[in-house]
């Protein structure tokens, strides 16, 4: 049985970037000492979620890859002997920026990176102002703990992204995330949104016969412009098995550092029972690449 011990860090971020990084390092160390082999961080984990407003000064938060963060987390990975999935604001060139997940191997090297492909643009989530859509495609990243299908936040709503990762041999789907409630929504609407978020990724697990890990931030972050009431990030980080079964779901309002045991070999058995990949009608899917079929 191939089992991976996966650590997830659901954290509430503050304006002090140094404080955020120090707490992440402390939690990474704690999870590694408890036996985690793979540790997954939330989306844009070094800072507050700066996309609530369109502010050119926020581009100062971006950094090159390789750069300071890959060096810092790389050294941590090497010292602790763990693989770390990070999420960074990448400065590729002047005026060209991406929302990029970087996977750090346990020897401290960069195993690979994924640039977020689907970029939202909604009130309090003005990501198109900051991020150019990714151009690296949907490709898993090979590591010492397995082949990781790393996607980022808004990608989680798109079954095509999960499928393409699965078709290239991903053993697990991973989603660093930053998503929360609009404070003006009713309690009922907020819960519908949170459950939809969980359900769609559990669907990706079922449709592809793969485990899914989603790691979200938690806590309230104000809107600097005061045009909205800010975002209450709903946490609820979770792990689902290849039949969509919930293996763990974190609190919706507390920080957590948890280790989840994932049996990678179980996916093989599930795919034998439910051979969805065998029965795909690939000869009839050509129009899926169209924006809309009139």
3-state secondary structure 241-273: CCCCCEEEECCCCCCEEEEEEEECCHHHHHHHH
> How many residues are recorded in the chain?
294
Architecture of domain 3-280: 4-Layer Sandwich (3.60)
Tell me the average pLDDT of the chain.
Answer: 97
When pLDDT is averaged across residues 6-15 and rounded to a whole number, the result is 98
Q: Label residue 27 by pLDDT band (50, 70, 90).
A: very high
Residue 20 pLDDT > 80, yes or no? yes
Distance spanning both ends of the chain, measured CA to CA? 49
Which of the residues 51, 105, 116, 171 is marked catalytic? 116
Q: Is the peptide bond before 66 cis (omega within 30 degrees of 0)?
A: yes
> What distance in Å separates the CA atoms of residue 38 and residue 165, rounded to the nearest whole number?
19
Q: Which of 46, 53, 106, 45 is nearest to 78 (CA)?
A: 106
Beta strands (DSSP E) in 116-161 are 141-143, 146-150
When pLDDT is averaged across residues 55-83 and rounded to a whole number, the result is 98
> What distance in Å separates the CA atoms of residue 99 and residue 92, rounded to the nearest whole number?
10
The pTM score is 0.97
Q: Contact at 8 Å (CB) between 198 and 236?
A: yes
Q: Label residue 184 by pLDDT band (50, 70, 90).
A: confident
116 tagged catalytic: yes
Helix (H, G, I), strand (E, B) or coil at 73: helix
Please give the distance of CA 211 from its chain centroid, rounded to a whole number: 14
Per-residue pLDDT tens digits for 101-117: 999 999 999 999 999 99
Per-residue pLDDT tens digits for 238-249: 999 999 999 999
195 tagged catalytic: no
171 tagged catalytic: no
Instruction: At 155, list the tokens.
Output: 């990608």
Which of the residues 43, 105, 127, 221 is marked catalytic? 43
Which of the residues 58, 105, 153, 171 is marked catalytic? 153
């Amino acid at each position: 049985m191939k089992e991976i011990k996966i650590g997830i860090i659901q954290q509430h971020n503050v304006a002090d970037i140094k404080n955020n990084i120090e707490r992440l390092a402390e939690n990474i160390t704690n999870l590694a000492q408890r036996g985690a082999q793979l540790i997954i961080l939330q989306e844009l984990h070094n800072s507050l979620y700066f996309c609530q407003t369109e502010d050119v000064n926020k581009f100062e938060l971006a950094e090159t890859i390789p750069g300071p963060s890959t060096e810092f987390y790389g050294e941590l990975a090497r010292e602790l002997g763990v693989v770390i999935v990070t999420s960074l604001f990448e400065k590729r060139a002047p005026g060209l920026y991406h929302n990029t997940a970087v996977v750090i191997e346990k020897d401290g090297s960069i195993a690979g990176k994924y640039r977020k492909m689907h970029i939202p643009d909604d009130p309090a989530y003005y990501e198109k102002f900051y991020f150019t859509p990714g151009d690296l495609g949907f490709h898993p990243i090979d590591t010492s703990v397995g082949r990781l299908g790393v996607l980022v936040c808004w990608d989680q709503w798109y079954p095509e992204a999960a499928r393409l990762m699965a078709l290239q041999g991903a053993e697990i789907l991973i989603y660093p995330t930053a998503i929360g409630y609009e404070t003006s929504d009713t309690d009922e609407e907020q819960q519908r949104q949170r459950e939809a978020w969980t359900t769609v990724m559990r669907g990706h697990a079922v449709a592809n016969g793969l485990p899914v890990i989603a790691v979200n931030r938690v806590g309230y972050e104000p809107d600097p412009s005061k045009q909205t009431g800010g975002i209450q990030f709903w946490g609820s980080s979770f792990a689902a098995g290849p039949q969509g079964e919930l293996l763990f779901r974190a609190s919706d309002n507390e920080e957590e550092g948890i280790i989840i045991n994932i049996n990678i070999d179980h996916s093989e058995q599930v795919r034998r029972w439910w051979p969805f990949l065998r029965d795909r009608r690939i000869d009839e899917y050509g129009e899926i690449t169209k924006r809309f079929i009139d």
